[in-house]
Structure formats: structure tokens, C-alpha cells
Structure 1
């Protein structure tokens, strides 16, 4: 019998990146997507870009890079774009992490982090969150060894929504050795309570990389476009690792239009924050101690009830994201979905 090729052990042993079931779901609140489609100007840009879909996009997304440079007030030589910030992070790790290198990250944090680290051949070193479900930055500093190559900080953190303030980040960056890359993942920055801007730190910390995305506040999750801002040396290595044509012409056009839609962005953010406040108040009134969220989701620390409650919500047409024995994450935006969540919780606890 002919044997098939065997994958690398790192691939064979990887956990599966899972997603919530959505069959029969009326309200999908499990993936942190925007609940409304892009504004008309963005849809128009998508339509016009589609007329050139038979042509390759620019190899490095230069028009988008220039638009982002103007938007952020930085040199275009600091920006690299890719098919979502997750893809940009993947290629950053491929550029810098070698077999045996360590990557320090908080846990629980974004579940894709350890998967990407292992794909790059590195070893994830997880540091538990604090009792407040925040990044324990002093403990992360203690986890640094001579094998540490990268540190990942998700701010606001997915899935707990907790934030690290500017002073704490600066103290942390001051203490990290300059040869260790710090990745500040700001996928949810637009919704944050603290006005932390990682890009403003770049001149002081050449080992810093800031990740951002158009998948959340800008509502372009289906087009997959994100970017990194860093020093020129790191950006050059990252650009070399990224595949050519990493961002489609349609995604690039949509992103360029989206950064000009400041009024629409403000409306999306403010409506999400109002809904966040409403949901937080509802569960606080029910005696649940939930962390303040700086994202477009809330974290309910339900412990052993997490999976059971998630399954119960599905019977009510609502999908949420469960993390076994820890909690559930609920994406904000739809008032009816919020009311369905609260009603389901009341029913679940009554039963």
C-alpha cells in the first residue's frame, strides 16, 4: 500500500481554529463582524474596482499604502499591507521566528496566535491573564528568555475586551530588550475606552510593530485587508516575506474609500459603544462581574456554564462564541440580538 506524504509535526499537532455553528441562526454574534454593510461610497469603490478584476493588483498595494500613510501621518516606508492583519502577523512571524525561538503571549488571548507561532516553527509561551482578565505585563517581562524573539500584546484583548493603558505600555516597552519585537495588535482600537495609539510610540521604540485591520469597525471582514506599521527595517523584512499581490484590487479600493468615511466610522463606533454600555449594565444588574470592554464585544465569565449557555442560545436562534470552562463572547451591534442574549440568560438561569 502506497503511503502518503506526512506533514510537519507542527502541522499535524495544531489545534483547529474553530468557529461557532450558524445553522438556523437568526442573530450571528460570534465572529466580531460589523452588523451593517459598508456605506454607499465604499460599495461604489468596490463596484468600480471590479471592472478591472481581470488585471492583477499592484504588487505591494502602493495606492493603499499611500492612503494609509496620509491617514496616519507617517512615511509610507513604515507600512505593509496584507490580506487581513492575521495574514500580516503570520508573515511577520515567518520573517523573524526560527525553529526553537519563543513567542510570548497572554492567555487567554486571540486563539490564532499560538497556531501562527507553531506554523512559523516557534514555541508559544503563554502567560495567564491577571485576575482582572488583563494582560499581566510584568509577568510577560519575566517570561522573556534568551530565546524570545517576539511578544504579542492584543489591545484591546480578544476575547476579554480588556485594555492596557498608555503608561503601562510605555513601561513595558521600556523594559523589553531592543532585539525582541513587540507586536501591538490594535484590531479593536476604534472601540477602545482608552485612547491608546500604538503608532505614536513608533519613533521611540524601533522594535515595535502595530497591527490594524479593516475587518471590524470598517466592516470589510469579507474582503480581508489589514496592515502593519513599524520601523523601516522591520517593514522591509515583513514586505519580503509577504506574497506579491497580497491585497486584491477590490479590497484595496474599498479600504481607501473606507478611511475617508470618517462620519460613517464615528456612527458605527458610537452606536456600538451605546449597545456595549446597555449590555454591560444589564448583566451587571444581574450580578455578573464582567470586565470593562474596549471592543465591539463583551465577555461573560460563565465558567463551567459557558458551553451549555452557548448551546442554549443556539436553540433561541443566537450564535455566540464559547470558550469551554471560561466564558462566552458576544458581538455587539444588533439591539435585537442583545435582547435575545439577555432573555436567553434569564431563561437559562431560571431553568
Structure 2
């Protein structure tokens, strides 16, 4: 990992807010540049960052101090994101980053859907960089920003309970019902979930990980299933459904930095969140295979798909293609590459 290039990019993004525009769209810049650097495209970072910065808003001003005695009152308060940045910056100066991450991962886990999962995704990307050895003040600063966004936008998901069934992730996703009104904001859709027949039993139906050692495999299976599922259902909401794969992948990459007793709760939380997004946005009808793109073949297929994503320049496409590339490397399934191309096709 080229810490210099990544650190410089993070420094440029540190003056921007986690959201931008009237619609409060998420700032994906720090996540996408981590992919560019890790995938050996450091030469593309400067130009990509310069173009992306033009759309962003400045980091809001601080409104007050968050302390160890009153932090709980600031959880989920989107107006206090700058206060959270100050808080986490101080914490990361005083303690090792793994210690801060472990403490706050547990506290923030109930609100993992924060920013439609962008909070945990942003944290996952910078943790991946830290685990690769790219530790400097700018990298730690990005961790502060990621945790701050997660804390400020923290919100719960209807939770029927931890996995206790027999279904593996691919079958568990297929078993999920859909909300009757697939329109409106995330909150409007999620509010329908507790009243949806079979919602609770379908979520609980995932096979649990019997031991912490089984959690990485179960998360990998969930990432694989969601990536391949995008082929069939991504047309329902091409951007948001990407997060059914990238969010659990962020948790998967964060596990090595977390205490093992947090692994199973992390699996349960991200599965429930993934299921909620899928039920709220995935259409009931799958796309016919005949309209799907054809994946390239041969030894250069993966590199070609990555090149197409970077040429596309969209931040969602870049992040999803990174996840799809990992699925392809892990499974050898060419449909993972097809899913990445489907994203480039669906997202303008």
C-alpha cells in the first residue's frame, strides 16, 4: 500500500464533509481512492481526486465538544459530525488505533446502517489500509472521519434476532420477502419491515457461525451471494443495492483488527442490514440472462474489468468492482466479473 499517495489524498478530503448537496449524497472519495491505490492505479489518484472534489461541500463547523461523559447523547445526531471528527481525532492521538476501533465498533454496531452503510464502508476501507501498513497521521485522520460519519448518522434497523436457521447466504437472500411499497426514502422502506410477513423468520433463517473461526467464511459467502445477486436484481436500484455486497465486505476486511468476541455480533448486524436493504430495494423479478453483459475471458479478464471500472470513473462502480474482483479471485466464478460490468452498465 502506497501510504504517501493515499495519505495525500486523505489529507485533501479531510477538509470536506461526509455528505454533499441538498440531497445529502455521500462523499465516496476516500473509499474510492483506497481502491485505486490498492489496485496499483496510484497514477490515477490525483486527477480523480481533483475532479471529485469539485462536487463536495466543506466539513461543517463544530457546534460543541463531545466528551467521554456525554457522547451517547450525540450518537445519531447528523448536525454534530464535525464535533465527532474532533473527538475521534483526539482519541486516536491518545490511544492505539486498534483500541479506539474496538471500543467504538462495539458501540456503533447497533447503528451500522448509518449513511446507508457508508459509515462502516468508509471505516472498512481505511482499516484495510492500516492493516496493510499504511499508518501515518493522514491515514489516522481518515479513520477519525469514518468513525465520525458512522457515529453522526447512526440509526437502528428492525432487528428480529441473530441468525439461528439452516440457510447459507445465497439461499437466505433468495428467501427474503420484499416490502410492498418500494419507493421513497430508506426510512420509509425500512419502516415497512416489521409489518412484512416472513421478514423476521427469513432474517433469522441464516445459518449462524458456530464459532468465531466460522465468521470470516460466512461473511465471505454473504459477499459472494450479494455480488452475484446484483446480476439479477441490481436494476431495481443500481446504486443502493451495491451496498449489499460492499458493506459486508467492509466488515470482512475489518475483522482482523477487531477482538474475536465482536466477530459474531458483527456478522449478525451486517446480515440484518444487508437483508433490510435487499428487501427494501431488490425487485421481485430477476433480470433475464439475455440482457446481461458478457464477461471477458482469459488471463487478463480481471485486469480488463478493473480498467473498465476506472475508465468509467464512477465511485460506486470502482468500489463494487473491487469487491467483485475479490469474489472472482476467491471463487473463480466469472459471474462476479459480469456483475461488475453490470454495474458499469446500470450506473451512468
Q: Structure 1 length as normaliser, TM-score?
A: 0.28
Q: Which has the higher contact order (CA 8 A, sep 6+)?
A: 1
Q: Of Structure 1 and Structure 2, which has the larger fraction of its residues in strand?
A: 1
- Normalising by structure 2, report the TM-score: 0.28
